[in-house]
């Protein structure tokens, strides 16, 4: 799922291409894509793009008649920009927005279509789509501490909860926790002051650093390689590969379709976290430490 750094770079690329330009036509072919009926989407063509805004992990586009188009790409949705007009097929390409400067398309891979498009009238209605999570890049340490410890969750759950923190998902939470040297299953209300400080600094640095990296990679082009797995990541998507800090193999926890990657030496004091996909089968046979795992592998 595109997260804060990806969304920021999407918005910056769109600002250069569509602000001040007229949306001439919009075609929706994905049967589940458009989630609102009022205001009608037909009220937008013929109007000029006025503003772009990030709302959590959503991209909001405002027109000169005060209507907003709000995109939520979910896991597999992606945006593309082409000079020529495109006819969406409803299978992979779900929507095409023809501006007088080019065409913006929304695609979604796979059979499960989860991406959404809302039309809302005015800033107050737009605010209702905001889950309300803290914008950490604009928050003080005390504001961060208050949001983090307001309820007792694991750090992985807390960071990825859009009602607690804005714009952070599965990929960058792994990077943040690795940078902060904290376990993904540590409970928020059991954290020490120095751990909260480390986490606060890691969130800010990771999000700012990756936003800048993606800007540099994209340049003046439109971001086409938006993925949760990027070269240079320290933990996410690196299961079985050596940690860039200590060389220990990155481990994982899997639950349903989600995967958490972590370094047991840097983050969990050498303890292995039980993988739910395996622990039900292995029960007592699941190794509890790096040393135990290495001993079993050497047998």
Whole-number Å distance between alpha carbons of 133 and 113: 25
Tell me how crowded residue 114 is: count the other CB atoms within 10 A of its CB.
Answer: 15
Sheet with 116-121: list strands edge to edge: 49-55, 58-63, 67-72, 116-121
Tell me how crowded residue 68 is: count the other CB atoms within 10 A of its CB.
Answer: 24
pLDDT at 256: 65
Pairing of strands 116-121, 251-255: unpaired
pLDDT digits (tens, 9 = 90+) for 95-109: 999 999 999 999 999
Average pLDDT, the chain: 92
**In this model, does residue 230 exceed pLDDT 90?**
yes
Judge whether 251 and 272 are in contact, CB under 8 Å: yes
Q: Which domains does the chain have, with CATH numbers?
A: 4-127 (3.20.190.10), 136-297 (1.10.8.50)
pLDDT digits (tens, 9 = 90+) for 23-80: 999 999 998 999 999 999 999 999 999 999 999 999 999 999 999 999 999 999 999 9
Q: Tokens 């409970």 identify what position? A: 187
Q: Left, alpha or beta for 270 (phi > 0: left; psi -120 to 50: alpha)? A: left
User: HSE of 108 in the Cβ direction (CA atoms, 13 Å)?
Assistant: 26
- Measuring CA to CA, which residue among 267, 266, 259, 213 is closest to residue 237? 259
Question: Residue 98 CA to chain centroid, in angstroms?
Answer: 26
Please give the DSSP secondary-structure letter assigned to residue 111. S
Whole-number Å distance between alpha carbons of 154 and 66: 40
Q: Hey, what long-range contacts does 108-111 have (CB within 8 A, 24 or more apart)?
A: 108/30, 108/73, 108/74, 108/76, 108/77, 108/78, 109/76, 109/78, 110/76
Whole-number Å distance between alpha carbons of 53 and 61: 7
Question: 232 vs 96, 209, 281, CA distance in Å?
Answer: 33, 11, 34
Transcribe 119-145 into DSSP letters.
Answer: EEEHHHHHHTT----B-GGG--HHHHH
pLDDT digits (tens, 9 = 90+) for 115-132: 999 999 999 999 999 999
pLDDT digits (tens, 9 = 90+) for 73-83: 999 999 999 99
Tell me how crowded residue 159 is: count the other CB atoms within 10 A of its CB.
Answer: 25
Label residue 274 by pLDDT band (50, 70, 90). confident
pLDDT at 162: 95
pLDDT at 281: 43
Tell me how crowded residue 144 is: count the other CB atoms within 10 A of its CB.
Answer: 20
E strand or H helix at 172: helix 170-180
The pTM score is 0.91
User: HSE of 9 in the Cβ direction (CA atoms, 13 Å)?
Assistant: 28
């Amino acid at each position: 799922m595109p997260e804060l750094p990806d969304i920021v770079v999407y918005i910056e690329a769109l600002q250069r291409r569509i602000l001040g330009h007229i949306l001439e036509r919009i075609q929706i072919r994905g049967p589940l894509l458009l989630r609102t009926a009022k205001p009608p989407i037909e009220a937008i063509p013929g109007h000029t793009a006025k503003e772009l805004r990030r709302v959590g992990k959503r991209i909001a586009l405002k027109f000169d008649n005060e209507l907003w188009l709000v995109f939520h790409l979910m896991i597999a949705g992606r945006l593309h920009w082409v000079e020529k007009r495109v006819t969406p097929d409803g299978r992979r390409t779900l929507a095409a927005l023809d501006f007088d400067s080019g065409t913006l398309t929304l695609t979604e891979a796979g059979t499960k279509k989860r991406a959404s498009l809302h039309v809302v009238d005015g800033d107050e209605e737009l605010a209702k789509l905001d889950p309300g999570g803290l914008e950490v890049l604009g928050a003080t340490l005390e504001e961060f501490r208050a949001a983090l410890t307001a309820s007792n969750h694991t750090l992985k759950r807390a960071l990825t909860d859009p009602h607690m923190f804005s714009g952070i998902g599965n990929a960058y939470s792994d990077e943040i926790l690795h940078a902060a040297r904290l376990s993904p299953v540590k409970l928020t209300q059991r954290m020490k002051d120095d751990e909260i400080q480390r986490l606060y600094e890691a969130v800010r640095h990771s999000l700012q650093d990756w936003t800048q990296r993606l800007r540099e990679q994209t340049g003046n082009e439109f971001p086409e390689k938006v993925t949760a797995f990027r070269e240079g990541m320290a933990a996410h998507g690196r299961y079985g590969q050596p940690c860039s800090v200590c060389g220990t193999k990155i481990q994982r926890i899997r639950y349903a379709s989600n995967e958490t990657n972590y370094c047991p030496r840097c983050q969990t004091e050498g303890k292995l976290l039980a993988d739910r996909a395996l622990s039900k089968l292995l029960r007592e046979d699941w190794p509890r430490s790096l040393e135990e795992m290495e001993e079993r592998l050497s047998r």
